[in-house]
Amino acid sequence: MEGDSSIGDGEAATIAITVKFSGGLIPISVSPDSTIKHLKSLLQPLTNVLPRGQKLIFKGKLLVDEMSIRASEVTNGSKIMLMASQGLHQGDGPVLKQAQTRPVSRAGYASKLATEQLKEQKPDALDKNRWERFKTTGVIALSECNLKAIPDKVWAAEVPARVLDLSNNAIQEVPVKIGSLKIQKLLLNANALMDGSISWEGLASLEYLTVLSLNQNHLTTLPSALGGLTSLTQLHVANNKLTGLPNEIGLLSHLEVLKANSNRISILPACIGDCKALVEVDISSNFLSELPDTFGNLHNLKSLHVGNNGLKSVPSTLFKMCLQLTTLDLHNTEITMDVLRQCEGWESFDQRRQLKHQKQLDFRIGSAAFDEGADKD
Residue 82 and residue 55 in contact, taking contact as beta carbons nearer than 8 Å? yes
Domain CATH number, residue 73: 3.10.20.90
Query: How many domains would you assign to the chain?
Result: 2
Name the pTM for this structure.
Answer: 0.76
pLDDT at 122 over 60: no
Same domain membership, residue 216 and residue 295: yes
Q: Give the number of C-alpha atoms closer than 13 A to the C-alpha of residue 128, restricted to the C-beta side.
A: 0
Same domain membership, residue 114 and residue 75: no
Mean pLDDT, residues 265-271 taken together? 95
Provide the pLDDT for residue 356.
Answer: 86
Provide the pLDDT for residue 87.
Answer: 65
Provide the pLDDT for residue 230.
Answer: 95
Same domain membership, residue 159 and residue 77: no
pLDDT band at 4 (very low <50, low <70, confident <90, very high): very low
Same domain membership, residue 223 and residue 276: yes
Same domain membership, residue 217 and residue 165: yes
Mean pLDDT, residues 9-31 taken together? 83
pLDDT at 110 over 80: no
pLDDT at 108 over 70: no
Between 93 and 134, the more confident residue is: 134
Q: Which domain holds residue 168?
A: 109-311
Rounded Cα–Cα distance for residues 366 and 193 (Å): 36
Same domain membership, residue 18 and residue 68: yes
Same domain membership, residue 269 and residue 186: yes
Same domain membership, residue 80 and residue 136: no
pLDDT band at 365 (very low <50, low <70, confident <90, very high): low
Domain CATH number, residue 155: 3.80.10.10
Instruction: With respect to residue 359, please indicate whether it lies within any of the assigned structural domains.
Output: no
pLDDT at 342 over 70: yes
Same domain membership, residue 172 and residue 42: no
Instruction: With respect to residue 347, please indicate whether it lies within any of the assigned structural domains.
Output: no
Q: Give 197-235 pLDDT, tens digit per residue.
A: 999 999 999 999 999 999 999 999 999 999 999 999 999
pLDDT at 109 over 80: no
Provide the pLDDT for residue 104.
Answer: 42
